[in-house]
Amino acid sequence: MTRPSRRGIEARRRMVALSMLAPTLTGLLLFFGYPLVASVFYSFTRYNQLQAPQFVGLLNYRFMVTADPQIFTAARNTLWFVVVLVPARIVCALMLAGLLARAKTAVGFWRTVFYLPALVPPVASVVAFVFLFNPGTGPVNHVLSWLGIKGPLWFNDPAWSKPSLVLLGVWVMGDMMIIFLAALLDVPRELYEASSLDGANGVQQVRHVTLPTISPVLGFAAATGVIAALQYFTEAAIASQVASGKITVGGGSGTDLGYPGSSLMTYTQLLYQHGFANFQFGYASAMAVVLFLTTALVLVLVMRRIAVFRPENNS
Amino acid sequence: MRRIVSSLAIATTAVLVTAGCSAGSGGSSGIDKSAPDKLSGTVSLWHFFSDQNADVMKQVVASFEKKYPDVKVELHDGQDDTKVQKAISAGQPIDVAVSSSSQPVGSFCSSGAFRDLQPFIDRDKVDLDDIPPAVRDYTQYKGKRCTLPMLADSTGMFYNTDLFKAAGIASPPKTLEELEADGLALTKYNPDGSIRQLGFNPLIDFYENGVGHWQPMINGTFLNADGTSAIGGSDAWKKLITWQKAYVDRIGYAKLRAFTSGLGQESQASNAFFTGQVAITIDGEWRVGKITKMKPGLPYATAPSPVMDGVGKYGASSITGNVAGIGRGSKVPELAWALLKYLTTDTAVQVELGNGVSNIPTLTSALKSPDLKVSPVYKTFVVGAADPHTVTFPATPDGAAYLQTFQKAWADYQEKGGDVNAFTANLDITIDNASKLAGP
């Protein structure tokens, strides 16, 4: 009986590892790799999903940069959500988690109360918010008028529509809050005690103890938040439709996307409109490729910023 | 490793090429020289209707099955255009498909997703002259007839008769000048200067206002014969845009926007016309059924849309609607054609569908049928549909994207204003550039 060679053992090990990875790898190739490669391919074509694609070179990319009247508005709106909505949600969720971490009584009750909005389906929460903030019939402006304040048009004013959606985003921050709460409760007490002995005040403790310890969680929240903001679709689309007074069931896309005044037109809505309403799948694919690259770039930048808080960078 | 990467790249390319090629193929044979004497087999019907309207389709299909006892129809309710498109693209043998709007006609005809119906029409000597000209127009693309109309929507003007009486207005406006005068006379303000009641809302993005529905006001066209935008070269569109902008400015954009923001949902009982907050509105025939259901006592009447004096044709409407065709993968094209012909060219069936769904039939014979239920307020839309000057919007491979582009640009212009010539010239460039992206 001969002993298997080292190379044979290595090969067998590799085979075992590959067979165990196979289901995941297959899924990745089928549902991520193929669509990604296909999108890049279609981005150089004119394609309507009904006929063979026709190679058009850089036409789609050229149109995007030089002729699409909505692309820069959509990109600007989307970046606005990345820059404002994501930090707003993180800051508010972190502050709320900080308060809940210190709560002594009815802890479970308060955690449930603040988490509950996150369970409301996005469509329902948007519809409810737009009705609440309706300038004519909603209670918000009614209450403001008691205080002598003339409320804005909220979802019907291009200047207020995005901030209104930020309010909604903050209201449904329960998912983020619960993760931060878990991270805060995990910060070793000894670190606070040690820093106290060193004379650190509350702000210094947050800066030098809390944030560095929970920075991986902050990084996760920022990364997932940025990805979600770059793909922001449902809330903006529903808000536009309801605020324009044209809510329908299964009404599909139309001229209401982005209402009021294209202020809520996000990149993914525009992509959807080109792909599914205008049969311009080639152009929609080009937009998807640009979105993918932008997401990757923004994520790298965000992760670098978050890394500042890591203990090893915090000397 | 390099070998694996190369193999993967080759395999991926092969898959893409194969997928790309297969998407373009489709069956086209199967038409007999003469209509078959006897029909038998199973035929599928995909349509977007749901709830009560799906029941109407069921009844009509039952009568088809009664006429052809050896034919069984498989009904697929609630199938929107995207689902139909995906199914056809995936090679599913859809026999007959009904789309809710005419917007995909350009894509379905030019791509061959729907079969060319002309051979069937010629063989069976189907009289297309019974279909009103505008309806014939929106169901074909560049002369290729791949769909037939099933039901349509026609537009007109709704006005509140009590408010008219209170304001001393004896008859509905027929011209835009009269519309503006009546609209301003019917507009009431609160002590703080905000609008309490609006005669007519001129904002282009209000409810059913829109470039398509305002088209009859100037007998307008959107595209030239070569498919390029006709808006910039049209004095009529420029006059309409200028008139609308002046009307908006007369009341004030901010006031109009504030008032409109507080109004209810168009499709619900809170519709501003139902509540009396707006006295005159441009809308479609479907609103008659909604009023009957949601606000039965509303004092209102209907009339054709007012038109620009000397430009528009009074009495005409804007019409578009459902279209039906035969999927390219149909294995039973004769059965599919029999069903399609039954749904779209049989006067009695069109009347039954029109009465059941409360939409406009698409045959002149059905519009004139004594069996069609036509109340006085509904008559405006039936007569409008049959008017020879009634207009529609042409199909394009990008799903008539020019309508969205025009509408969005106009919504922007009504607020910011500017040189109308420059505005429409830029619009032409945008529309023409975008049209190159769709296809092949």
DSSP letters along B108-136, please?
HHHHTSB---HHHHHHTT--GGGS-HHHH
Least CB-CB distance to B397: which of A52, A245, A279? A279
Q: Within B295-367, where are the H helices?
A: 333-345, 347-357, 364-367
pLDDT at residue number B34:
86
Which residues in chain A touch residue B411, judged by CB atoms under 8 angstroms apart?
A: 255, 261
pLDDT at residue number B25:
34
- Compute the C-alpha angle B434/B438/B440, nearest 5°: 140
Q: Judge residue A128's burial from the number of C-beta atoms within 10 Å of its C-beta, 0-12 exposed, 13-18 middle, 19 or more buried.
A: middle
pLDDT in tens, B346-394: 999 999 999 999 999 999 999 999 999 999 999 999 999 999 999 999 9
Query: What is the H or E stretch that residue B360 is in?
Result: strand B360-361
Please answer whether residues B282 and B208 qualify as being in contact, where contact means their C-beta atoms are separated by less than 8 angstroms: yes
In the block, tokens 């498919």 appear at B227
Predicted confidence band of residue B83 (pLDDT cuts 50, 70, 90): confident
Q: Which residues contact B101 (CB under 8 A, 6 or more apart)?
A: B81, B320, B321, B322, B323
- How far is residue B431's CA from residue B433's CA, in Å, rounded to a whole number? 6
> Does residue A138 carry a pLDDT above 90?
yes
Query: What is the H or E stretch that residue B281 is in?
Result: strand B278-284
Q: Which CATH architecture has domain B155-318+396-435?
A: 3-Layer(aba) Sandwich (3.40)
Q: Which residues contact A293 (CB under 8 A, 6 or more apart)?
A: none
Please answer whether residues B339 and B96 qualify as being in contact, where contact means their C-beta atoms are separated by less than 8 angstroms: yes
Whether A48 sits inside 8 A of B440 (CB atoms) is: yes
**pTM score:** 0.88
For residue A35, the one-letter residue type is P
In chain A, the largest separation of any two C-alpha atoms, in whole Å, equals: 95
Which residues in chain A touch residue B111, judged by CB atoms under 8 angstroms apart?
A: 48, 50-51
CB atoms inside a 10 Å sphere around CB A90: 17
Q: Which CATH architecture has domain B30-153+319-386?
A: 3-Layer(aba) Sandwich (3.40)
Test mutation, B22, B261, B424, chain A, max A CBs within 10 A: B261
Sign of the alpha-carbon torsion through B197, B203, B204, B206: negative
pLDDT at residue number B178:
98
Which residues in chain B touch residue A247, judged by CB atoms under 8 angstroms apart?
A: 265-268
A70-313, which class in CATH?
A: mainly alpha
The two three-digit tokens of residue B146, written as one number: 């791949």
Percentage of residues in chain B with pLDDT exceeding 70? 93
Residue B378's SS3 state is helix
Whether B20 sits inside 8 A of A53 (CB atoms) is: yes
**Domain coordinates in residue numbering, chain A:** 1-35, 70-313
Phi then psi for residue B317, to 5 deg, are -130, 180
φ/ψ region of B395 (left if φ > 0, alpha if ψ in -120 to 50, else beta) reads beta
Average model confidence (pLDDT) across chain A: 91
Predicted confidence band of residue B85 (pLDDT cuts 50, 70, 90): confident
Percentage of residues in chain B with pLDDT exceeding 90? 83
Least CB-CB distance to A135: which of B20, B262, B415? B262
Which residues in chain A touch residue B262, judged by CB atoms under 8 angstroms apart?
A: 134-137
- How far is residue B387's CA from residue B152's CA, in Å, rounded to a whole number? 14
- How far is residue B425's CA from residue B230's CA, in Å, rounded to a whole number? 10
Instruction: With CA atoms as reference, report the closest residue to B265 among B253, B274, B256.
Output: B274
pLDDT in tens, A202-238: 999 999 999 999 998 998 999 999 999 999 999 999 9
Whether A54 sits inside 8 A of B412 (CB atoms) is: no
CB atoms inside a 10 Å sphere around CB A189: 7
**Domain coordinates in residue numbering, chain B:** 30-153+319-386, 155-318+396-435
Establish whether domains B30-153+319-386 and B155-318+396-435 are of one fold.
Answer: yes
Instruction: With CA atoms as reference, report the closest residue to B104 among B118, B83, B85, B77.
Output: B85
Interface size, chain A vs chain B, as Cβ–Cβ contacts under 8 Å:
151
- Compute the C-alpha angle B137/B361/B155, nearest 5°: 70
Whether B206 sits inside 8 A of A245 (CB atoms) is: yes
φ/ψ region of B252 (left if φ > 0, alpha if ψ in -120 to 50, else beta) reads left
pLDDT in tens, A163-189: 999 999 999 999 999 999 999 999 999
| Span B398-419, average pLDDT | 94
- How far is residue A253's CA from residue B382's CA, in Å, rounded to a whole number? 28
Phi then psi for residue A107, to 5 deg, are -60, -50
Q: How far is CA B412 from CA A302, B119, B216, in A?
A: 35, 46, 22
Separation in Å, CA of A113 to nearest CA in chain B = 31
Nearest CA in chain B to A278: B398
- Looking at per-residue pLDDT, the higher value among B91 and B228 belongs to B228
pLDDT in tens, B261-297: 999 999 999 999 999 999 999 999 999 999 999 999 9
In the block, tokens 């805060």 appear at A184
Least CB-CB distance to A48: which of B21, B107, B210? B107
Least CB-CB distance to B16: which of A38, A280, A282? A38
| Least-confidence region, from A258-267, B23-32, B143-152 | B23-32
| Least-confidence region, from A9-18, A33-42, B21-30 | B21-30
> Does residue B18 carry a pLDDT above 50?
no
- Compute the C-alpha angle A57/A61/A67, nearest 5°: 120
| Least-confidence region, from A282-286, B91-95, B97-101, B304-308 | B91-95
Separation in Å, CA of A130 to nearest CA in chain B = 11
> Does residue B12 carry a pLDDT above 50?
no
Separation in Å, CA of A293 to nearest CA in chain B = 20
Whether B258 sits inside 8 A of A51 (CB atoms) is: no
| Span B246-258, average pLDDT | 97
Predicted confidence band of residue B198 (pLDDT cuts 50, 70, 90): very high
